[in-house]
């Protein structure tokens, strides 16, 4: 059983990437398109040429690239940085503890994306398909 369970690790790696991206994308669509809801307190969108607008672009389109596993390493590295900035600008000043400052998602996304920037996308990804295509050409 332990050997079989360990053999599934690459697939759980890909599932982690897919689920994290799927849950992350609405943070961006909320800022850009007010979907599935707008930004609090008045359900508005962020001005595109603002820090929140830039965050919305990164979260929406970077999240889509992570979801399909394309350019995963560099995109995940950029998103990890974005989440670090989000935490230290928006949450940390309120309290040291993420459970108090509501920064837990930013911390977790930062480290999930940092992991993906080192580990790559996993087997179910466009990055993996591109690598398989390159191996066939060589």
Residue range 94-103: mean pLDDT, rounded: 96
pLDDT of residue 96: 93
DSSP single-letter state for residue 59: I
Q: In whole angstroms, give the CA distance from residue 133 to residue 115.
A: 25
Residue 2 has pLDDT above 80, yes or no: yes
What's the whole-model pTM score?
0.93
* Pair 55, 82: CB distance under 8 Å: yes
pLDDT of residue 64: 98
pLDDT of residue 137: 75
* Pair 131, 124: CB distance under 8 Å: no
**Would you list the DSSP string of 102-133?**
T-HHHHHHHHHHHHHHHH-S-SSSHHHHHHHH
Residue 90 has pLDDT above 90, yes or no: yes
pLDDT of residue 138: 66
Residue range 99-103: mean pLDDT, rounded: 97
Percent of the chain whose predicted confidence (pLDDT) is above 90: 89
pLDDT of residue 69: 98
pLDDT of residue 1: 73
Domain ranges, ordered by start, for the chain: 2-137
Residue 53 has pLDDT above 70, yes or no: yes
pLDDT of residue 56: 98
């Amino acid at each position: 059983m332990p050997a079989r369970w360990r053999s599934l690790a690459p697939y759980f790696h890909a599932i982690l990437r897919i689920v994290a991206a799927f849950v992350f994308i609405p943070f961006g669509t909320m800022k850009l398109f007010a979907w599935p809801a707008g930004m609090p307190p008045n359900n508005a969108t962020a001005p595109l040429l603002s820090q929140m607008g830039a965050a919305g672009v990164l979260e929406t389109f970077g999240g889509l690239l992570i979801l399909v596993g394309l350019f995963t390493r560099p995109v995940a590295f950029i998103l990890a940085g974005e989440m670090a900035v989000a935490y230290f600008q928006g949450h940390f000043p309120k309290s040291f503890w993420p459970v108090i400052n509501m920064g837990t998602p930013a911390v977790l996304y930062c480290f999930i994306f940092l992991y993906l920037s080192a580990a790559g996308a996993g087997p179910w990804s466009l990055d993996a398909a591109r690598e398989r295509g390159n191996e066939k050409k060589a």
